[in-house]
């Protein structure tokens, strides 16, 4: 393989990584942090069977029940709270 091909492949890989990074940053703008109350309100708007299916599928890929959660205190900082 000549040096030109190696350089072209390296530049292509860097370009693909930059494109992926830009896409993730674009998606991250719409993310929001929900408290437990807000999460239950959001899930209650969906049909029960639909939310249950997604939560069950999520349970297949997680290691178990969450034992630690983060909540905002009165100053707006995140604090660890054991469940």
Given this model, what pLDDT does residue 40 score? 73
Residues 64 and 43 in one domain: yes
Inter-residue contact 83 to 69 (CB < 8 Å): yes
Residues 39 and 78 in one domain: yes
Classified as helix, coil or strand, 81 is strand
Given this model, what pLDDT does residue 42 score? 72
Given this model, what pLDDT does residue 37 score? 77
10-residue averages of pLDDT along the chain (83 residues): 90 96 88 76 63 69 67 80 66
The structural domain count of the chain equals: 2
Given this model, what pLDDT does residue 71 score? 79
Number of residues in the chain: 83
User: For tokens 């069977």, what's the residue?
Assistant: 49
Residues 6+ positions from 51 with CB-CB distance below 8 Å: 43
Residues 1 and 39 in one domain: no
Residues 23 and 40 in one domain: no
Give the residue numbers spanning the domain of 45: 33-83
Residues 52 and 81 in one domain: yes
Residues 24 and 58 in one domain: no
């Amino acid at each position: 393989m000549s040096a030109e091909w190696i350089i072209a492949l390296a530049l292509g890989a860097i370009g693909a990584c930059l494109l992926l990074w830009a896409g993730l940053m674009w998606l991250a703008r719409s993310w929001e942090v929900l408290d437990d109350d807000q999460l239950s309100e959001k899930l209650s708007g969906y049909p029960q069977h639909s939310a249950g299916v997604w939560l069950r599928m999520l349970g297949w890929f997680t290691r178990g029940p969450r034992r630690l959660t983060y909540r905002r205190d009165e100053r707006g900082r995140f604090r660890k709270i054991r469940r």
